Chain A
């Protein structure tokens, strides 16, 4: 059975300020959803809340993944279950090399979630399964070729001094490596040049299939020409105010968002 991510009436706030005001959304393996909407409408917030960022407080609603309510789960448990977020602003972590980090991440995700109650046991956690360097090397080489990532960047610190475009590409490299079941791409297209956009889209398309569900957050129709969505949703003021097929994206391109503004909502701009 295809894995499902089910969001029900999700409300979330940051520092006491409500951002999500009742989001309903279902993303299944094999489907591609686009999420659009004006700046500050809550798209990144939604992605972060799904991934379990502790900065946000969920005040109401539910998030179900693979039949489990994951609201109380730690981010690492969610990742090990098969969720992935390609960040809009990936964090730099100085002093930690991409290669070593990715190898650990792959081991963790392959290990999968530990049985509940054994995540922080008073006894001893299960021994780690390590991935032999040779196997990791082959896998990484394959994905790097796919994304036309420069060899040198593997020895650099995570996102440290990466250009905007390099960071985005590195996020998709991670996604390709970790093979999630449901992946969210938060404005991966912003900051990519035309060639890079093509490369990234091609790689994402190569990953498309019955085993991957995608939520593509974007402001631009262009990426959707490459990664053609099955569904398009528009978020406004913390709610999904309109859903449709791929033609909705074209309509938005033409008409903007204002016609979708729900009554009584105010203009929210964050930058």
Chain B
């Protein structure tokens, strides 16, 4: 490996060395160099005056102490922690139709069912896609959905991306079983770039599940830079679900955006639980007439975590629809900024767009700031937005305690109830239960023992409003009675 890549810090030399090492065509090298220029010339986004200061903190992150590229280990064997993470994946081996595993800078495993291969579905790492489907990559890679000049961080991403996932679904192909991607960071002081490019051709559909995780100890932070670009052609449907559960020594910057042709839809499900700091941007560009998007978001922050979440519903075509629903809880000293924008472009008649964001503050020291925005350039529009930030309601707490529930438990139940409306919108059962368990675990009072915590987890399914675990249903007999399903 050439010296510039082996040392820490980003540089023009490192860009060239990376591209050479990959044996890339000239156009990709030029694209990387163009991005590097932009990176060098563009100031980092700093947020607004008087905000919670998270973007400023990100701007001061020591990018130059990171290694821009980590070569894969020789034998390709995975460490035990990643093997284990793969076993506990949101989509198990029997339930998925495809798998991509990225570790640090490299995609180390790609699997796709023979059936989907035979129907023309392409699932590869992005390097392979550059070689074999150069025309598609050249056309879609960081040009429209997340243009490389979106901000300083996307420019860095374009200059240094490695690994990466390419998914193409041909016209009319509907993929029922989800495709799973796991992105792992297991080295300190490293930068990993995860790029996902999904092209769903006309009338196709797919469910795609992405997990971001890390497995390394110590204080020395690493960076995960993720870009997800989704293109839905006429009538295509994509369900994109992501779970960000990175360790507290990881900082992350994410940009996810979809470009819609007519009557296509993308439903985004985003759960943010981990990382030290996450700057997350999610957008949908509803260009084609009749296109639609939905964003369901859940977050839970504690200790000194900081999240900045920005969403954009950009309405361009006629009769487009968007709904954004985000619920999050903050504990300890954590800080969350949410910036949700609905933009209705001139001529985007019959737009329907809704956004609601709710924060629940669980400590006196956490801070949340929610700024819903609305820009309307058309006149036949139905749009509404709202954001609330509140604490656990004292009267609700008293009500539950008056029925014998201890304060900790009453509080936990209220928080669970707060998340329930968004959890009900998540179609992936495993994610729903993962999130519930995470909520229970974070809510456990300091005095509760590990055994109690596990018990609380097990009981969760019957304590939440869960259709499966305890459900009262009417038997088919005429006699009216309630029945519990067997445990």
- A residues in contact (CB < 8 Å) with B: 51-55, 74-76, 78-80, 84-85, 87, 90-91, 93-97, 99-101, 103-105, 108-109, 119-125, 127-128, 130, 133-134, 136-137, 140-141, 144, 151, 154-155, 157, 174, 178
Contacts and interface: CB of A to CB of B under 8 A. Distances in A.
B487 A133 contact: yes
Nearest to A111: B404
Given A51-B402, A96-B414, A128 B455 contact: yes
A157 B410 CA distance: 15
Interface stretch (B209-217, B288-296, B378-386, B457-465): B457-465
A100 B403 CA distance: 13
Given A93-B400, A95-B418, A133-B484, A157 B465 contact: yes
B455 A101 contact: no
Nearest to B327: A95
29 contacts: A51-B398, A54-B394, A74-B406, A76-B401, A76-B404, A76-B405, A76-B406, A79-B404, A90-B399, A91-B398, A93-B400, A94-B418, A95-B420, A95-B421, A95-B464, A100-B470, A103-B462, A108-B405, A109-B403, A109-B404, A120-B447, A124-B451, A127-B455, A128-B455, A137-B482, A137-B483, A155-B471, A155-B472, A178-B404
Contact of B465 (A78, A97, A108): A97
B395 interface: yes
Interface of B: 393-396, 398-407, 409-410, 413-414, 416-421, 447-449, 451-452, 455, 459, 462-465, 470-472, 474, 480-484, 487
Contacts of B393: 91
Contact of B482 (A80, A125, A144): A144
Contacts of A119: 406
A51 B407 CA distance: 14
A245 to B, nearest CB: 30
B401 A95 contact: no
Given A93-B414, A95-B420, A133-B470, A105 B455 contact: no
Contact of A87 (B399, B447, B463): B399
A122 to B, nearest CB: 6
B403 A151 contact: no
A97 B482 CA distance: 15
A101 B401 CA distance: 11
Nearest to B422: A95
Contacts, number: 141
B401 to A, nearest CB: 4
B468 to A, nearest CB: 12
A120 B445 CA distance: 10
Contacts of A93: 396, 399-400, 413-414, 417
B472 A105 contact: no
A163 to B, nearest CB: 18
A136 B405 CA distance: 17
Contacts of B416: 95-96
A155 B449 CA distance: 31
Interface centre among B399, B447, B463, by most A CB within 10 Å? Answer: B399
B449 A124 contact: yes
A181 to B, nearest CB: 13
Contact of B403 (A74, A101, A120, A136): A101
B409 A151 contact: no
Given A94-B420, A119-B406, A151 B465 contact: no
Contact of B398 (A75, A95, A120, A130): A75
Interface centre among B398, B414, B419, B464, by most A CB within 10 Å? Answer: B398
Given A94-B417, A137-B482, A104 B463 contact: yes
Contact of A95 (B406, B407, B465): B465
B417 A95 contact: yes
A96 B393 CA distance: 14
A122 B452 CA distance: 13
Contacts of A154: 472, 482
B474 A55 contact: no
A244 to B, nearest CB: 30
B470 A91 contact: no
Given A74-B401, A94-B418, A174-B403, 9 more contacts: A75-B402, A76-B402, A76-B410, A91-B399, A93-B414, A96-B413, A100-B463, A104-B405, A105-B403
A174 B481 CA distance: 18
Given A93-B417, A100-B464, A151-B472, A137 B406 contact: no
B402 A96 contact: no
Nearest to A86: B402
B413 A105 contact: no
B465 A105 contact: no
Contacts of B459: 130
Contacts of A105: 403-405
Given A93-B396, A137-B483, A174-B403, A124 B420 contact: no
B404 A94 contact: no
Contacts of A76: 401-407, 410
Contacts of B480: 151
A153 B421 CA distance: 18
